[in-house]
Amino acid sequence: MGTLSELFAPDRVAVIGATAREGSIGRAITDNLLADFDGTVVPVNPNYDEVLGLDCVDSVGEADADVAIVVVPPGIAVDAVEGCGEAGVENVVVITAGFGETGGEGAARERELTEVAERYDLNLVGPNSLGVMSTTKMMNATFGPDNALPGNISFMSQSGAFITAVLDWANDEGIGFKDVVSLGNKAVLDEADFVDEWGDDPDTDVVIGYLEGIEHGREFIDTAREVTQDTPIVLVKSGRTEAGAQAASSHTGTIAGSEQAYEAGLDQAGVLRAEGVQELFDASQMLAGQPLPDSDTVAVVTNAGGPGVMTTDAVGESELRMASFEDETLETFGENLPEEGNIYNPVDIVGDADIDRFESALDTALGDENVGSAIVLSAPTAVLDYEELAEATVELREKHDKPVAACFMGGDSVAPAADVLSEAGVPNYFDPARAVESLDALLRYKRISEREYDAPTEFDVDRERAFEVLSRVEERGDNRLGVEAMGLLDAYGIPTPQGDIVDDASDAVAVAQDIDGDVVMKIVSPDILHKSDIGGVKVGVANEDAYDAYEDLVTRARNYQPDADIIGVQVQEMVDLEDGVETIVGMNRDPQFGPLLMFGLGGIFVEVMEDTTFRVAPVAESEAREMTREVKSAPLLRGARGRDPVDVDGVVETIQRLSQLVDDFPAIVELDINPLVALPTDGGDGETEDDRGVAAVDVRLTVDPDALAHPEADEEPAEPEPETPEELEAPEGDTR
């Protein structure tokens, strides 16, 4: 695929299926293009010589176009696109519906469409798209009712109706756009492609979007990470709730990934997520027009005490803090403000404040080094002119080069002032909470732009051995593995207690004798899930009792379920659960984002308190460490309530090693290390002083045998092993 810049700024646009027929989409698009487009429109339709006064050509080959818009019926749309490919038109927007969204025949048609586009290396938007707009040349190649105003926000949407609704509103609000894309079914170009394009576009300052799904999660993360270093991205991703996900799935026909994966993935991508339309535009207006703040401190200057308190509450709920003024600032306020006022933040300049008092107070506040941003908050009064206040606000914002939000409360009387503010890129909100939320989004974006993304650590691991352990599912005819797969963890350097699985009582004694102290013995059988319930676990077994314990465990299992597949008995070193902290490190594979890692403290914390955190793998060391910090129960790892701190470094390394394992083997569908016991770092019981590490006491995983590829397979692509299905050679994230 070539660059997309030509898609948005063509000289000649062909409309394949153009017509003058009233009420038709072909007519609507041709009309819209004719209205403002600073370029040439070429109707393509063998049925006409002329359309709306333009010469009409028979085929796209005669149009010499940079972009083709396809509005022909679905039955001939693929041929039309093929015609574009043959004619060398690289950019094609397929408006036509009746593809994947209808299932069955339509889905087959969409596969054909993708195949043609790939063959000719086309930039294809759609199908089932409202179209594309760009204000660079005022091109409106959509069948919606409105064209966009020029601006610096680029906007993509998986819903065409959402675009028409937003434009109707944005035009009245004076909000402009650079490019607008209706993504349609995303048969070829998807959100990652547009994010990538707009990241390089000097005329796009903010990327916003409405998405119901993300096609290739890991690729999106990697693209968005780069873009968000310079250009903020704000997205509404719907399907957050179970009900919403169902609705999204039935609307777009795609399988919904989990909300946890989207939440983690979008955060890892540096994307700001908005919950609704209003939050989306509140944040994007702030991001589109303001410098980034130097600090998280905000000053509130107001003539209205009560709203000042409301604003302070909103600040308290955000990541911003109320600024503490320098002494000099307080002195100046003390000299200039009436006694009933408040010189501390929020600065109350009192209801009788005129423009001079307001201006001087704002100037003083913005001049304070402790102030990162400011909110100008005003109620309507007889002595204050909102337009004058707007002008002063704009001037002082520029003078101090700090972000400023306006909250001029009131109705239509605010409109002229709001226009002054809007022209200067200062957003104005009726509700103080929205002003605060938007400054908060600016602060959060600033932190994103400063992020440094480390590469995941590559540990030296034994992939061959891991493959061997995983391959056991093929012999076993069962996709689940339990403690018998502890060797998998060992192969990836994740500490496991000393021990082994034996299928003979004498071997049990031999293993027990190799272990210092008493041992734990557990029956190992894929058919016995709740070992404890049938007496399948013996704790504190002395070496000399290991033989009898083995026999007893096997007898109990046989009595419980005569036909159970008994793999053997696990003989394991006793791990001190009392002094350690039980954690869970897990993973499941998301349809969009691939391997999703989970961390939480064991037992009740995950199961009852739902105190968990997620990341899309692979993760760097810093991301793994964040996981151990951001669960609410994290203080328990670091010695809360008089306990000794445990080996958090060991937990962090385990998360990273598991990340590498599940990234290496797409065949691992889900995996839980439960518990991963983190032991006290100073010995806890006073016996040892050194770092006592972590121990993966138990593991459960599900493997997809059909997806199991030898670890060398993707490293030697010249010699693919015939038994490995091709699409599984690379980790999911790399597959398109």
List 313, 319, 504, 727, residue binding its own copies (CB under 8 A): 313
Q: How far is the CB of 125 from its own copies (least distance, A)?
A: 17
| Per-residue tokens: 562 | 């005569």
| Per-residue tokens: 171 | 């035009």
597-604, Cβ contacts within 8 angstroms, sequence gap of 24 or more? 597/627, 597/655, 597/658, 597/659, 597/662, 598/260, 599/627, 599/628, 599/631, 599/651, 599/655, 600/631, 600/633, 601/631, 601/633, 601/636, 601/637, 602/674, 602/675, 603/675
List 140, 297, 312, 496, residue binding its own copies (CB under 8 A): 312
Q: What is the Cα 3 distance to its own chain's centre?
A: 24
Nearer to its own copies, 108 or 542 (CB): 108
List 101, 222, 354, 714, residue binding its own copies (CB under 8 A): 101
Q: How far is the CB of 104 from its own copies (least distance, A)?
A: 12
| Binding residues for its own copies restricted to 434-473, rule: CB under 8 A | 434
| Binding residues for its own copies restricted to 132-151, rule: CB under 8 A | 145
Alpha carbon distances (Å) from 534 to 500, 523, 549, 559, 671? 21, 10, 14, 9, 24
Contacts of 404 by beta carbon, 8 Å cutoff, 6+ apart: 290, 366, 373, 374, 375, 376, 393, 396, 397, 426
Give the residue from 567, 565, 557 showing the smallest Cα distance to 531. 557
Alpha carbon distances (Å) from 696 to 138, 455, 499, 658, 678? 61, 25, 12, 11, 9
Give the residue from 508, 540, 463, 483 showing the smallest Cα distance to 708. 463
Q: Does 367 bind its own copies (CB under 8 A)?
A: no
| Binding residues for its own copies restricted to 43-62, rule: CB under 8 A | none
3-state secondary structure of 454: coil
| Binding residues for its own copies restricted to 584-603, rule: CB under 8 A | 603
List 70, 97, 208, 678, residue binding its own copies (CB under 8 A): 97
Q: Does 251 bind its own copies (CB under 8 A)?
A: yes
Nearer to its own copies, 336 or 381 (CB): 381
List 120, 344, 453, 547, residue binding its own copies (CB under 8 A): 344
Q: Does 354 bind its own copies (CB under 8 A)?
A: no
- Which residues face 142 on adjacent strands? 131
Q: Does 635 bind its own copies (CB under 8 A)?
A: yes
Kindly write out the interface string for residues 379-408 of this chain, putting x where it contacts its own copies by CB under 8 A and - elsewhere.
xxxx--------------------------
Nearer to its own copies, 3 or 246 (CB): 246
Nearer to its own copies, 174 or 517 (CB): 174
| Per-residue tokens: 442 | 């600016």
| Per-residue tokens: 686 | 């006073």
Q: Does 278 bind its own copies (CB under 8 A)?
A: yes
Contacts of 658 by beta carbon, 8 Å cutoff, 6+ apart: 492, 494, 585, 587, 597, 617, 671, 673
Q: Does 611 bind its own copies (CB under 8 A)?
A: yes
Give the binding range for its own copies (CB under 8 A) out of 198-206, 269-277, 471-479, 543-551: 269-277
Cα–Cα distance, 577 to 685 (Å, whole number): 12
| Binding residues for its own copies restricted to 417-436, rule: CB under 8 A | 430-434
Quick check: 594 and 616 in contact, CB under 8 A? yes
Q: How far is the CB of 171 from its own copies (least distance, A)?
A: 6
| Binding residues for its own copies restricted to 667-726, rule: CB under 8 A | none
Q: How far is the CB of 549 from its own copies (least distance, A)?
A: 24
Kindly write out the interface string for residues 155-174 of this chain, putting x where it contacts its own copies by CB under 8 A and - elsewhere.
--xxxxxx-xxx-xxxxxx-
Quick check: 373 and 296 in contact, CB under 8 A? no
Cα–Cα distance, 312 to 299 (Å, whole number): 10
Q: Does 409 bind its own copies (CB under 8 A)?
A: yes
Quick check: 488 and 688 in contact, CB under 8 A? no
Give the residue from 239, 268, 216, 211 showing the smallest Cα distance to 590. 216
Q: What is the Cα 735 distance to its own chain's centre?
A: 18
Q: Does 31 bind its own copies (CB under 8 A)?
A: no
Q: How far is the CB of 515 from its own copies (least distance, A)?
A: 28
| Binding residues for its own copies restricted to 529-558, rule: CB under 8 A | none
| Binding residues for its own copies restricted to 211-250, rule: CB under 8 A | 212, 236, 238-244, 246-248, 250
Longest dimension (CA), the chain: 100
Cα–Cα distance, 144 to 174 (Å, whole number): 18
The residue behind tokens 């798209």 is 129
Kindly write out the interface string for residues 177-216 of this chain, putting x where it contacts its own copies by CB under 8 A and - elsewhere.
---------------------------------x-x----
Give the binding range for its own copies (CB under 8 A) out of 8-16, 118-126, 315-323, 462-470: 315-323
Nearer to its own copies, 463 or 643 (CB): 643
Give the binding range for its own copies (CB under 8 A) out of 44-52, 299-307, 665-673, 700-708: 299-307
Q: Does 102 bind its own copies (CB under 8 A)?
A: yes
Q: Does 304 bind its own copies (CB under 8 A)?
A: yes
Q: How far is the CB of 492 from its own copies (least distance, A)?
A: 30
